[in-house]
Amino acid sequence: MPNNKSKPGPSRMSVYLYIPNIIGYIRILLNCYAFAICFSSKSLFAALYFLSFVCDAVDGWCARKFNQASTFGAVLDMVTDRISTACLLVILSQVYRPSLVFLSLLALDIASHWLQMYSSFLVGKASHKDVRDSSNWLFKLYYGNRMFMGYCCVACEVLYIALFLISSKHTENLMDVVVTTLKQGSPLSLLVAISLLGCSIKQVINIIQMKTAADACVLYDTEKKQKR
């Protein structure tokens, strides 16, 4: 006689205790402490912040390795990323002038990722990284090539951390500091140049992502009205 009993799914608590989700909680604690001491110990802040960023890659590996991918984990991961980056951009907006540069990057980062996540779930996609139906080659390359995505994401974070570390007072002109650093011809200059390129590409992709996600929401609305 066949057994019709379905295999029981994971309990609510077990999902909260998935290994990648536990790593996510650790990331939150690392970031909280890092920002608490950011002005009193810049080097320790940079180390903790970057360690949290590295953990972002580790939790993804764990999710695939132990088959513990979850919607909660995906949301936790994105929210942690966006809030930590937002906090660092706010700090940079207080260190450099014009502050609007960093506040604009903050707004673009949150808007593009939130729209992408929302539009993906709206049309029934399992992940916001599923962009196979996109017609933009750069957008598809970003989400389709893990190395390219990693370079752009790491470049942004490294550039922001470097700008914070090399700042000496709270009223510095951003362009002056960047140009002076690039002209030094030091390893730091090379690091800033490489990071600046990757960060610039990432901002272009954020704009494409925001427009693509907005189009998906509008298309969903028009198709929904046509079915009535």
What's the CATH code of the domain at 32? Answer: 1.20.120
Give the domain extent around 85.
Answer: 13-226
Structure tokens at 191: 């690091």
Q: Which of 56, 81, 109, 215 is catalytic?
A: 81
For the chain, how many structural domains are there in total? 1
Mean pLDDT by runs of 10 across the 228 residues of the chain is 56 88 96 96 96 92 92 90 95 94 96 91 83 90 94 96 89 92 94 97 97 92 83
In whole angstroms, how large is the CA radius of gyration of the chain? 20
Q: What is the rounded distance in angstroms from the CA atom of residue 180 to the CA atom of residue 167?
A: 12
Specify if 74 maps to a domain: yes
- Whether 3 maps to a domain, the answer reads no
Cis amide linkage into residue 98, ω under 30° from 0? yes
Residue 2 lies in a domain: no
Closest C-alpha among 119, 122, 24, 135 to residue 70: 24
Residue showing tokens 């180390």: 47
Comparing C-alpha atoms, which of 60, 162, 74 is closest to residue 113? 74
221 is a catalytic site residue? no
Write down the pTM of the prediction.
Answer: 0.88
- Structural domain contains residue 126: yes
User: What is the Cβ-side half-sphere exposure of residue 180, based on CA atoms within 13 angstroms?
Assistant: 9
Greatest alpha-carbon span in the chain? 78
Residues 6+ apart with CB under 8 A from 119: 212, 213, 214, 216, 217, 220
Which string of b and e fits 195-220 if b means at least 16 CB within 10 Å? Answer: bbebbebbbebbebbbebbeebeeee
* Pairing state between β 96-97 and 172-173: parallel
What's the gap between Cα 111 and its chain centre?
12
| Rounded Cα–Cα distance for residues 61 and 91 (Å) | 30
Looking at the domain assignment, is residue 1 inside a domain?
no
The span from the CA of 80 to the CA of 28, in Å, is: 7
d(CA 33, CA 24): 15
| 6 domain residue, yes or no | no
- Residue 127 burial (CB count, 10 A): 13
Residue 23 placed within a domain: yes
Residue 165 within any structural domain of the chain: yes
Residue 97, classed as helix, strand or coil, is strand
